[in-house]
Amino acid sequence: MKDIPVIQGFTRMCADGWRQNWHERNGGNLTYRMTREEAEQCVEFFKPGQWNEIGVSSKDLAGEYFITTGSGKYFRNVELDIAANAGIVEINEKGDAWRIVWGLENSVPTSEFPTHFMNHAVRKKTTDGKNRVIYHAHPANIIAMTYILPLKSKDFTLALWRSATECPVVFPHGVGVIPWHVPGTADIALVTCEVMEEYSAAVWAHHGLFCSGADFDETFGLMHTIEKAAEIYMKVLSSNAKVRQTISDDNLKAIAKVFEVKLNSNFI
């Protein structure tokens, strides 16, 4: 299994997230909706277990396979022993139950699996099946921003766009912002689904960042770009110096024109 490219990609992303200091203890989770070809590459290693109810359902995800981190598992340990800290689950034909087919030894999928599952359904629909990755992490700077900015998508988006020139290119739709909710609950799952219909990234106030993308590189890159911009924003703010210049609205429009992206018209 370790030689199969999709398993290698999943493992690398977990390791990269740990090395960025985004995953203290067992914080964060990662899921990937496999292609049929990828699942077929792994099927010889499958040993299906018992079915378990998800608690939510989606016909659009019936029969799909997901690679997922395990509940209570540490990102730092995935590259040491992926089968003990992550695994593959199959969704039944009703789209309301999962079973382990590989890995997750003495474990179960992440406690946020129902939230990931619901948001996979949303992103699959809104991107015509292109988005396959859901990634949740705890980057410190974007979390810090939730203590000082209004918890509004426009405020966060403009602050990030103006902090680093590449931001409007990487996430032209902006970022969604969600007020604090108890993690792992139906409430945060539902409100995140609403936000992810419009955005590929959602900021969870005082908690972390929730991103979606077509593959591991795109999704990790989105998380990395947002957090780097947040770091710049917080460093400027903490310097106590007067801001003498910034990226203007005209600058943002010029970037959009050259890179052929459409910026969210609600923000600029």
**DSSP sequence for 195-207:** HHTT-SEEEETTT
pTM, rounded to two decimals? 0.95
Note whether residue 9 is domain-resident. yes
Residue carrying structure tokens 């309301």 = 96
Note whether residue 117 is domain-resident. no
Predicted local distance difference test score (pLDDT) of residue 15? 98
Nearest to 9 by CA among 40, 36, 30: 30
Predicted local distance difference test score (pLDDT) of residue 188? 87
Instruction: State which amino acid sits at residue 155.
Output: D
158 and 105 inside one domain: no
Task: Return per-residue pLDDT of the chain as tens, 268 residues.
Answer: 999 999 999 999 999 999 999 999 999 999 999 999 999 999 999 999 999 999 899 999 999 999 999 999 999 999 999 999 999 999 999 999 999 999 999 999 999 999 999 999 999 999 999 999 999 999 999 999 999 999 999 999 999 999 999 999 999 999 999 999 988 788 888 999 999 999 999 999 999 999 999 999 999 999 999 999 999 999 999 998 999 999 999 999 999 999 999 999 999 9
The total of structural domains in the chain comes to 2
Note whether residue 234 is domain-resident. yes
Q: Which residues, listed in sequence order, are joined to residue 66 by a DSSP beta bridge?
A: 33, 89
Predicted local distance difference test score (pLDDT) of residue 186? 80
- Cα–Cα distance, 75 to 209 (Å, whole number): 16
Note whether residue 129 is domain-resident. no
- Cα–Cα distance, 28 to 22 (Å, whole number): 8
Choice among 64, 90, 112, 227 that is catalytic: 112
Look up 218 and say whether it is catalytic: no
Predicted local distance difference test score (pLDDT) of residue 233? 97
**DSSP letter (8 states) at residue 36:** H
Instruction: State which amino acid sits at residue 43.
Output: V
Which domain does 153 fall in, by range? 139-268
Rg of the chain taking only CA atoms, in angstroms: 19
Q: CA of 232: how far to CAs of 109, 162, 257, in Å?
A: 35, 10, 24
Predicted local distance difference test score (pLDDT) of residue 225? 98
Read off the CATH number of the domain in which 82 is found: 3.40.225.10
- Cα–Cα distance, 89 to 68 (Å, whole number): 8
| Backbone φ, ψ for residue 187 (5° rounding) | -60, -50
